[in-house]
Amino acid sequence: APLPSGDIRPQALHLIWDRESNGMPIPDIPKDTPIITHCGGGGRGQKAKDFLEKNGFTSVFNGGGPKETECWAEFGEK
C-alpha cells in the first residue's frame, strides 16, 4: 500500500493493546498497509508492532511516544 500523498489520506484505527491477554484486535486491512503504532512512552507501541508482525503485517513502524522524533522525521510534514 502506498504512503500518504496528496491523493491519499491516511486513516486511523484505534486498537488498544490489552495487557492482560498480551494482544489486540487484528485490523481488517491488507497485510501490506503501512501501520504506525504508538503509546505514551513507546513500550506498548513496540509490543503492538511485534504482535502485528507476528500476525503477518509487513509494514509496521513503532512511532514511540509523544517525545519520539523518529516517526515525525519519517512521516511528518507530508
From residue 32, give the alpha-carbon distance in Å to each of 9, 16, 51. 16, 20, 15
Per residue in 11-61, pLDDT (tens digit) is: 778 888 998 999 999 999 999 998 888 887 778 889 999 999 999 999 998
- Cell readout for 55 is 500476525
Burial of 34 (0-12, 13-18, 19+ CB in 10 A): middle
Give the DSSP H or E segment for 46.
helix 43-54
**pLDDT interval class at 9 (50, 70, 90):** low
Q: pTM for this one?
A: 0.72
- Comparing 72 with 57, the larger pLDDT belongs to 57
